[in-house]
Amino acid sequence: MTEHEAHGDIPVTVVMPTYNEAANLPRMAEAVLGLPLDGLHLKIVDDSSPDGTGRIAEELAEKYNDTADGRRRMSVLHRTEKDGLGRAYTAGMTAALDEGAAYVVQMDADGSHPVEAVPRMLDAAVTSGAGLVIGSRYVDGGSLDEDWGVHRVLLSRFANRYARAVLGTKIKDITAGFNLWSAGTLRDVDLSTLDSAGYSFQVELKYKATRAGHSAVEIPIRFAERTEGVSKMTLRTQLESAVVPIRLRLKHR
């Protein structure tokens, strides 16, 4: 028996925010729900996507919830406005905790995060007792997609090093968006107290968790280019990502 088979019945919820991901969602749902983890649940958090992503998510949930044992393997949380990735994650993660998840995974819907790494992340959390496992691009063995241009690679690395330097953290990929959290860690941080609305949510949550004494483990992943659609990264979110580390450092001096 492998380690992930031994941990396969642990309640794990993958929270996946979506906005205009109709082209990617069916493939992503199939990949996530095909993992060998009996306790796995997929929760889509859709921000009223105009391309019909929410409707497709409901159809997929109906398909995957048609199980012989009556298990609900997938659910959809519909939000009425698009007010940031951080807000979407907060809503989805809070719902997952209320529904009894022992671990919560953050994952993008665009195919950039390797679905097959989830069992390894769960194994790492259970065996180490860490409150956070990060799918890291910047530890030995981690990498970025070769199709990324030089500008994007440099921007990504700079943003990560900038946040690490300002916050004084040892986490090598503090900006990572592919993370597995224990329920206890998320409750201890208290998601309702987080300020960041955009991508900087990733930095704020990790910073507050480690400051509260929860340990973090990083495992290497290959971060791929999205397969369909366009990036949601805007100038506003980049500016927020620059300001938040400074605000956090000043607040917790």
Q: Can you tell me the distance from the alpha carbon of 110 to that of 28, in angstroms, rounded to the nearest whole number?
A: 8
- 241 and 158 Cβ atoms separated by less than 8 Å: no
- Report residue 157's pLDDT band, with 50, 70 and 90 as the boundaries: confident
Higher per-residue pLDDT: 75 or 243:
75
Higher per-residue pLDDT: 241 or 115:
115
Q: How many CB atoms lie within 10 A of CB 139?
A: 16
User: What pLDDT score was predicted for residue 138?
Assistant: 92
User: Taking the alpha carbons of 106, 178, 229, 37 in that order, is the dihedral positive or negative?
Assistant: negative
User: What pLDDT score was predicted for residue 253?
Assistant: 59
| pLDDT score of 190 more than 60 | yes
Amino acid identity of residue 37, one-letter, is L
DSSP state of 223: E
pLDDT single digits (tens) 205-242: 999 999 999 999 999 999 987 555 455 454 455 545 55
Q: Can you tell me the distance from the alpha carbon of 102 to that of 217, in angstroms, rounded to the nearest whole number?
A: 17
pLDDT single digits (tens) 65-87: 988 888 899 999 999 988 888 99
- Report residue 161's pLDDT band, with 50, 70 and 90 as the boundaries: confident
Full set of structural domains in the chain with CATH? 3-251 (3.90.550.10)
User: Taking the alpha carbons of 36, 178, 20, 45 in that order, is the dihedral positive or negative?
Assistant: positive
- 217 and 137 Cβ atoms separated by less than 8 Å: no
pLDDT single digits (tens) 5-15: 567 689 999 99
Residues 6+ apart with CB under 8 A from 226: 24, 108, 110, 111, 112
User: Taking the alpha carbons of 118, 25, 85, 113 in that order, is the dihedral positive or negative?
Assistant: positive
Question: What average pLDDT is seen over the chain?
Answer: 87
Higher per-residue pLDDT: 244 or 90:
90
User: Taking the alpha carbons of 181, 11, 87, 186 in that order, is the dihedral positive or negative?
Assistant: negative
| pLDDT score of 1 more than 50 | no
User: What pLDDT score was predicted for residue 247?
Assistant: 64
Question: Strand, coil or helix: what is 46?
Answer: strand
Cβ-count burial 125-135 (b if 16+ within 10 Å, e if not):
bbeeebbbbbb
